[in-house]
Structure 1
């Protein structure tokens, strides 16, 4: 992997680092992205369904049990996945105390936390959590092996996974924390995610507007005027070679 010496200088000497991770990081652990679900699940009964429809309020309202069962299947798949070297390297970097490192992720799988990261801003929620669609009360009971939508004990509404579906706004507190971290950093790393898809792409632009250096790490780098350095490759190799 070729990493520009100037990019390495910024990585080593930054005082305040903000990292934004996307599906590419978890893909190294074998977690299928939405774009790859059709291929990854062709032997599964779920291959006939559009993942985007299964991750929307409209799809849930149309058939709550079908969507719930899809998420239960996804959870069962995720239980077989382990944090990879990228997850572990980021956690170690956060714990080193030599630099301030803030982690923002678009992933919902919890692998950053499993890899040792304690402070993670989750823009799209967490697939292991559940809450009521109606009153939004968190549902803390276990849901293993439950194949039908649960009734909220508080209001009788339907329990849904605590992830951000297509068409829904990002959690206000998470977005506020992400903006603050991007505004105040002097190095912004976009890892395993496009620098052109909003709203998350706006974080790199915000960091850049405040004078931060922006580095993108992706197998297929995007052509964005916001990015100062593009590193073509997978996240785990980048962190092992740069830290």
Structure 2
């Protein structure tokens, strides 16, 4: 018999080992801030770009041949991110972190930085961050996107100054967005591969919020949590994710069919009750 969510939270708080509360978030949590999702009905990867399928456009191979076009798209995203504000879900997660301290871990697929804007500190960004860049030749580390570089409308061309700013000062190759593309692999240095799996081994309950689970590391995180005795709690108004398909028949999976912001407030209240 599956435990109730309240019982699960109470028991995890009382455990001496594998008592981490981990939260895995995807684009769904930022949709309430006005940012588009990726694989929802109106998602970017469902609709695609104007001329290309996402699996073609969102690759290092495509970037290496079409740098200006890819940067036009990313500077449009820069505009969306600059205009977006954290929503209640982001703020509640920050409050939960303050309650749990070292028993809290946030793992996000999002590249918008809204968790940090809301005050979250212990964050693994497993797909990178669109507010940072690095040299396409990897001659230097991750850096903030040049402050002089302005966001653009989707149809707006790059200026000569933009192109100058988007070249590495060390080797003069193009700078690239510091995000994970379809033809690239997870690693520890940029995407916290080992750190997230280590956290998964110590997790008592993994909350999955706003992600379809279509990429490999989120799947590995969930598998690892369950393998080491933890529980999976998915917050999703639909029954359409990898996690539901893969784990819903197991005793260690709970589905909460509510908006993320509403569900997180209830989770926070339960933690406050038993902490």
Q: C-alpha distance in 1, partners of 2:45/2:27?
A: 16
1:128 lines up with 2:97 in the alignment: no
Post-superposition CA distance 1:9-54 (Å, at most 9, x none):
2124423211111111111211112343569999xxx644544433
Instruction: Find the aligned partners of 2:53 and 2:213 in 1 and give their Cα distance.
Output: 25
Q: Secondary structure at the match of 1:160?
A: strand
CA RMSD between the two structures: 2.5
Distance 1:195 1:162, change over 3 A: closer
TM-aligned CA distance change 1:18 to 1:139, over 3 Å: closer
Name the SS for the 1:190 alignment partner. Answer: strand
Cα gap change, 1:143/1:162 in structure 2, threshold over 3 Å: closer, same or farther? farther
The 8 Å contact of residues 132 and 157 in structure 1, kept in 2 or not, is answered as yes
**TM-score normalised by structure 2 residue count:** 0.78
Number of matched pairs: 237
CA distance 1:143–1:129, shift in 2 (3 Å): farther
Q: CA deviation at 1:233?
A: 2.2
Per the alignment, residue 223 of structure 1 pairs with 245
- In structure 2, do the counterparts of structure 1 residues 86 and 133 end up closer, same or farther at CA, with 3 Å as the change threshold? same
Which is helix-richer, 1 or 2? 2
| Distance in 2 (alpha carbons) for counterparts of 1:134 and 1:175 | 21
1:168-204 deviations in Å (ceiling 9; x for gaps): 1123241111101100111111111135642311101
| Residue 162 of structure 1 pairs with residue 178 of structure 2 | yes
Consecutive unaligned residues in structure 1, runs of 5 or more: none
Q: Mind listing any 5+ residue stretches in structure 2 that lack a counterpart?
A: 14-19, 152-157, 269-275
Mean alpha-carbon deviation: is it higher for 229-238 or for 29-38? 29-38
Aligned to 1:7: 5
